[in-house]
Amino acid sequence: MPVYTYDPPERFVAGTVGQPGERTFYLQAAGGKRVTSVALEKGQVSQLAERLDELLDEVARRTGVASAARTLGVVDDGPLDMPLTEDFRVGAITLAWDHDGERVIIEAQEESEEPLEPLAEDIPDDGPAVLRVRITAEAARAFSRRAIQIVRAGRPPCELCGLPVDPAGHVCPRQNGHRVGHG
């Protein structure tokens, strides 16, 4: 399967298509005339943002790499590039810090019965597809900030059970299956 490598991408963002409750989440990398879009779950986007922040905090603490601690005002609030074509669905995501290049490596691997070793150099032709990006610490912080905003832009959580609430309410397990309203 293909390996989509961006070192560095001109753009790397998380985004969604659809209305809250029916959104599909994507990671999208672009460089030159290439655009790679991979679908993933909302929870994967949230965990990626959280883990990126943890990784950068640890890098800043251990190495003193000042750029790991700040974003320098880097913001990308633009929509996903269209037309959007899903290249694959993500199974596993790996993060690493390249000390020599002072870059974050993010690898998203296609769902597979036989996943690859994370950050493997040799990827078999019949293996799962891989999206691999290398970005600066500032770009990683900006990615994380946007990803958190996108996750939070969905349906609000029920105050009783934490499950998402549609505009018409939802059937709440904490209320013995009775429908409760929004807010």
Q: Are residues 77 and 166 in the same domain?
A: no
Tokens of residue 31, six digits: 């460089």
Q: Are residues 61 and 133 in the same domain?
A: yes
- Count the neighbouring beta carbons within 10 Å of the beta carbon of residue 4: 21
Q: Are residues 180 and 112 in the same domain?
A: no
Token pair 């500032």 in the structure block, residue: 138
The whole-number average pLDDT for the span 16-29 is: 92
CB 108 within 8 A of CB 143: no
Q: Are residues 171 and 132 in the same domain?
A: no
Residue 69 has pLDDT above 70, yes or no: no
Q: Are residues 174 and 102 in the same domain?
A: no
Q: Which residues of 19-47 are buried (b: 16+ CB within 10 A; e: fewer)?
A: eeeebebbbbbbbeeebbbbbbebebbbe
What's the one-letter identity of residue 89?
A: R
Q: Are residues 114 and 160 in the same domain?
A: no
Pick the range with the lowest mean pLDDT from 12-26, 72-86, 124-138. Answer: 72-86
Q: Are residues 134 and 177 in the same domain?
A: no
Q: For residues 51 and 70, what is the distance between their CA atoms, to the nearest angstrom?
A: 16
Q: Are residues 43 and 132 in the same domain?
A: yes
Q: Are residues 135 and 160 in the same domain?
A: no
Query: How many domains does the chain fold into?
Result: 2
Q: Are residues 92 and 166 in the same domain?
A: no
Q: Are residues 119 and 170 in the same domain?
A: no
Q: What are phi and psi of 125, to 5 degrees?
A: -60, -30
Confidence label for 62 from pLDDT (cuts 50, 70 and 90):
confident
Q: What are phi and psi of 43, to 5 degrees?
A: -65, -35
pTM given for the model: 0.84
CATH number at residue 33: 3.30.2450
Its domain, for residue 161, covers 156-183
Q: Are residues 85 and 175 in the same domain?
A: no
Residue 27 has pLDDT above 80, yes or no: yes
Residue of higher predicted confidence among 147 and 74? 147
C-alpha distances (whole Å) from 97 to each of 85, 91, 127, 138, 143 are 29, 21, 24, 13, 15
Using one digit for the tens of pLDDT, what is the confidence trace for 98-140? 989 889 999 999 999 888 888 888 888 888 999 999 999 989 9
- Percent over 70 (pLDDT), the chain: 92
CB 140 within 8 A of CB 38: no
